[in-house]
Structure formats: C-alpha cells, structure tokens
Structure 1
Amino acid sequence: MTVQYDMFDPASEPVKRGRGTTRLPTEIHEAEMVRLLQATGRYRVLTKLQPRPVVQASNPSFPLCGVIVDTETTGLKSWSDEVIEIGAVAFSFAENGTIGEVTGVYGSLQQPSRPIPPEITRLTGITDAMVAGQAIDRARLDELVAPADLIIAHNAGFDRPFCEQLSPVFADKAWACSVSEVDWSARGFEGTKLGYLVGQAGYFHDGHRAVDDCFALFEVLDRKSDCQDRSPFAELFDASQRSRVRIYAEHSPFELKDQLKGRGYRWSDGTYGRPKAWWTEVSEVDLDDELSWLRSEIYRYEANPPLRRLTAFDRFKN
C-alpha cells in the first residue's frame, strides 16, 4: 500500500491506495518532516540561521572578546573606494577557543561621496536610495570594537584596510582571517566562500548584508563536526597567535613568474613602502624549506630575499 499526504498541511489525511487501512497522525511536526525527507536519500534540508540573542552580562568563564566584522564597499581599493555598510558582532570566548555568548551587535549603512556603481548594487543589493542620509555612528562602533582581543573577518586582507580607514580603533588590534587561517578542506568543506561554508554546514542565510554575514560566519566558526574535537574558531584563534614570515622574492627572473604564481606567490606593486616583488607568507617552521626552494628553483644561487616577520597585530594591513 502507498500512502500520500501533504507534509506541509498539518490537517492532511492520508490518501490510501491498495488494500488495508493505514492512518497517519493528522499533525506532522517540523522535525518529523525533516526526518522523513532526509530518510529518502533524495533531499538535504537546510536550516535558516537565526541570530543568537545578545546577553546583558557576559559569563566570566569566557573572559576574552572577539568581534566579527564585515564591510560592503563601493570597490576593492581602500585608498579610493568607500564603505557603504558595516556589520559587527561581538562575542565572548575562552583561552581554549571555546565560544561563549553574543555580547553586542552593530550594523549601519553609510552614504558614500559618489553614486554606488551598478555592479556593486547587483552584488550587494544596496542602492543609492537605501544609503541616502545614512552614516555610521563611529562612537557606537568604537565602543563595540574597543574591548576586542581579536577581530575576525572572512578575508581580513580586504576588510582590515577599509575598517582602519573608518576608525583608528581597528589599527592596533589583533586580526584573524577565517579564509586563510582555517583548514576548511581538512574539515570536509569544498570551498572557502562564506556561502559554501554556510550551505555545507547545513544552513542558509540572507547573504551580502553585513550583519547577516557576521552572524553566519559566527555560527560556522562555532560548529564542530562529528570527526573534529575542536571548532574552526579554536583553530583560527591558535593560528592568530603564531607569527608568520613574509618573503619578498626580489629580483626574481621574469621568465619564472609562473612558477612563483603556481606556488602561491602574489605580486606587490611597491605601494605602502613594500618591495616591488612577488611575495608569500609562511610559518616560521616552513621558512627554511621555502628559502631552499627559492634558491634552488628561482634564484639558482644563495640569495637572501627580504623577510618581514608579522603577528596578528600587523598582518592583513595595506
């Protein structure tokens, strides 16, 4: 016998085919709907992310403060483009990387000095009409960010320069990047874009609005899988406390640029006082191996390229 019913109509009665009589409950709860769909093997159910409530008093078991930030901007260049929206979610955490509670939220649109480019409106959904007369409250933003022990952005190399243009409160903080400082592949994820991470974690959200993206990243960072005993945030916090070494492959042969690019080197055009050269960042542990590769594969002599040691306080700046 086959039984059909409308899963989304609580009053639905079964439609009986064949011999015999079977009755299903007249009310099917949401959890049961999900179980039935997933049990077929043909469906995957995503849960809409709901922002966690903001607590009034933080638990002393979580003495540290983290702030997740996200910006929407008129373009990619922090020295000429402008922030049109910022979102920030503050939370408490412990020294072992365990997340506590949400302690503050701030979000605001801001009218730029020039019209928003059409491609930015298509990407973000933010129009000139939405930002007209809007301005970021710097005092409220600074109040939220000032206690932060760590600021997290999903592509900190993009967000940090824009945030520092907004307020000096961001300049002397430790920053972490949830794209580059979490091994998402080892955690079973197929990409590092926030939409991929959210979807593969079993959620969906209203993307490309700053506060929504902050809350989405917060949930993904706090989620442990069955095969991982530590959360992505714990991994991120550990990584943020380790120094890195930036290597500038100055005077490398032009004809070997593809080998450098293939190994993950990026081009520095010499702005902000940096050498004009291909560069990469490695851990202290990997420094000797990387220098050996450069000397044998690129320079072919005992070169000593410029090095710069970086901590979370000076990484991801312009």
Structure 2
Amino acid sequence: MILTGMILDTETTGLSPVNDEIIEIGYILFTYDDERDLYLDTLEEGTYLREPLSASARKNYPFAFRIHSIPFEDVKGKSFDDEKVKAAIKKADFIIAHNASFDKSFTVKMYPELFSKKWYCSARNIPWKTYGYYSAKLISLLHSHKLASSQTHRALDDVRQLKQLLMSSNYEGKSYLKVALSSASPVNKTVKCPLSGVKQKQADGTSPQTYIPSLSAKDILSLLKEEGKDRYLVYTETGRYIGFIGAAKSRQIEASLREGLGMKAEVKELSVNEKGEHHCLISVTIEPAKKKEAAR
C-alpha cells in the first residue's frame, strides 16, 4: 500500500500547551510503500515562523530562546501559512514526530484536523533499548548512527535529520519507519463537560444563557485556557465565544492533557428544557501518550 506520511517538528516558547505557543513548524510530506518498506518520494517541505500572541508565551520567550536560538525579531509580525499547512495535513495518512506527545499537544490547538490523523512517535514507538541504544534522544540516535554530530533545534533541520534516521534499518533489515508504523496506538480518553456561563448578549438582546447559536452535534469547538483561572473558554470553529467549562472539569482536562498527545473538542449533545433554556454538552477527547519519557 502506498501511504502519504508527514514528518513534523515544532519549536515553542515552552513546554506547556496551555500557556505556551508554537513559534516555528517544519514538515516533510512524503510517499512510502508500506509493503516493500520503501521511501518513494518527497512531495513537499514546509517551514514557517509566527509571533506568539499570549502574555504567558511572550514572557517565556527568553527562556525558550536558549534552546532554539530564534531571535524574537525573526518571528515578530509573522504567521504560518495556514492554507498550505492544512493542505499538506489533508494529504497525510499519518504523522510521525520524534516526541509526538509534545508536538501534537501544541499543533492540534492550531490545526484540529491533526487530531483525527494517526500519530506515531519515533522516540516511543521504536524499541531503541532493545536495539542497544541507551537513549531515545534524537541527537544521541543521530550520533550513534553516524548521521549527525549536532542539532540546530530548528524545526525543518530536525525533520530532515529525523527522516535520515527513519530511513535507516534495524538488525532485521526493517526501516525504523516500518517499526514505528507497526506499533499499537494508545486508547483515547473522553471527558464530557456541560457548557456554562456565557457572558455576552446577542445583537438582538437575547441572553446567550438561553440560546446556543447555530450549533449542531459533532461541530468542532476550540478551547483556550483562561489565564489566571481554572477554566477553559469555549469557541466555535469560526472563533465565536459561546461559554466556558467549569473549574472541576477544566482541571480534569488539564491533568489528562499533561499526559496526552492532543485534544479535540466537539458538541456532544444539545437540549432544551421546559423553560426554553438551551443547554450544550461538550465532548473533550484526549489521546494519551504511551508512557513518560524525555525525548527532546
């Protein structure tokens, strides 16, 4: 079977997908013959920079700079080419990253379509210790395979180096990409949350407390952690604020997300009570990582 894969990497302002942001994304889109275990062709390479917008992400930038060495001047005023990134994502049958739990937790916030893709982790889905390698860190593996002696920690550079590693073979003659794709996927966790406390009114003066605007079951929603508070704000896919998730459920989501690969939120159920008040139940799905392991 001919598959289209995407090797992906990000650089961020920190380690928290709640308080930090992506500042650089890099990817390679390629075709792969799964039956013959053969890398066929590179279809596209992409790399983009963006300026972080939240106060917490901007505050963390000087600390992250020590890792990625991207001056703030290089990202100021820039943004990703979302149309090109989304077009590349649409073509991919699977995504592979060296630390998928990290990269997915950030990227699905910007590109929800990534959540439904099959993700593989080249650090965790390949048994490096079984093959005799003491560390799953990318630079260590590159050095052991005589592929590179240093890492720039720039997204596209890391993707290109990871591609070289994935095309290398284990002692059985299988590519590491084949090994990763043969691994089992983790089980998703779902948290059901009632929508609460809409603050603004509609243009006609109707209180949103009794009105859920133009929503249907399965509609994709966007969640954003409110700074300084234990709750997630809820937005429609077009960016319209419709309410928030209460503190208890928000803490449950955040605790699960710390262990996870990413998060997808959608409308689970809409209802109207005897008073004519509209209610909305949200389904938040978190895909967990297989296990904790420092890989970056």
- For Structure 1 versus Structure 2, the TM-score category normalised by the shorter chain is 0.5 to 0.7
Deviation at 1:98, TM superposition (A): 2.9
Q: Distance in 2 between matches of 1:99 and 1:159?
A: 23
Aligned twin of 2:10: 71
Deviation at 1:228, TM superposition (A): 2.6
Change (3 A) 1:229 1:126: same
Q: Name the aligned partner's letter for residue 271 of structure 1.
A: Q
Aligned twin of 2:252: 271
Change (3 A) 1:203 1:177: same
| Alignment pair present for 1:238 and 2:182 | yes
Q: Name the aligned partner's letter for residue 40 of structure 2.
A: G
Q: Name the aligned partner's letter for residue 272 of structure 1.
A: I
Residues 1-318 of structure 1 aligned to structure 2 (within 5 Å): 63-96=2-35, 97-113=37-53, 114=58, 117-204=61-148, 206-225=151-170, 227-239=171-183, 242-244=184-186, 271-272=252-253, 314-316=287-289
Contact map agreement 2:17 2:105 (CA 8 A) in 1: yes
Deviation at 1:115, TM superposition (A): 5.2
Q: Distance in 2 between matches of 1:190 and 1:136?
A: 37
Q: Distance in 2 between matches of 1:275 and 1:209?
A: 28
Deviation at 1:91, TM superposition (A): 1.1
Contact map agreement 1:99 1:222 (CA 8 A) in 2: yes
Contact map agreement 2:187 2:287 (CA 8 A) in 1: no
Q: Distance in 2 between matches of 1:132 and 1:217?
A: 28
Q: Given the two structures, how large is their TM-score scaled by the length of structure 2? A: 0.61
Q: Name the aligned partner's letter for residue 48 of structure 2.
A: S
Aligned twin of 1:291: none
| Alignment length (residue pairs) | 199
Secondary structure class of the residue paired with 2:182: helix
Q: Given the two structures, how large is their TM-score scaled by the length of structure 1? A: 0.57
Contact map agreement 1:115 1:128 (CA 8 A) in 2: no
Deviation at 1:206, TM superposition (A): 4.3
Secondary structure class of the residue paired with 1:203: coil
Aligned twin of 2:192: none
Deviation at 1:188, TM superposition (A): 2.7
What is the CA RMSD across the aligned residues, in angstroms?
Answer: 2.9
Q: Percent identity?
A: 29
Q: Distance in 1 between matches of 2:48 and 2:159?
A: 13
Contact map agreement 2:139 2:151 (CA 8 A) in 1: no
Q: Hey, which of these two has a bigger chunk of strand by percent?
A: 2
Q: Distance in 1 between matches of 2:256 and 2:116?
A: 23
Q: Name the aligned partner's letter for residue 173 of structure 2.
A: D
Change (3 A) 1:129 1:274: closer
Deviation sequence 1:73-131 (CA, Å, 0-9, x none): 11111122110000011111122343222111110111112255222111101111111
Higher relative contact order (CA 8 A, sep 6+): 2
5+ residue gaps in structure 1?
A: 1-61, 248-268, 281-309
Q: Name the aligned partner's letter for residue 186 of structure 1.
A: T
5+ residue gaps in structure 2?
A: 190-249, 261-284, 291-296
Q: Distance in 1 between matches of 2:18 and 2:254?
A: 15
Deviation sequence 1:157-212 (CA, Å, 0-9, x none): 11101111111221211101111100112223221111001111102254200000
Q: Name the aligned partner's letter for residue 118 of structure 1.
A: P
Q: Name the aligned partner's letter for residue 66 of structure 2.
A: R
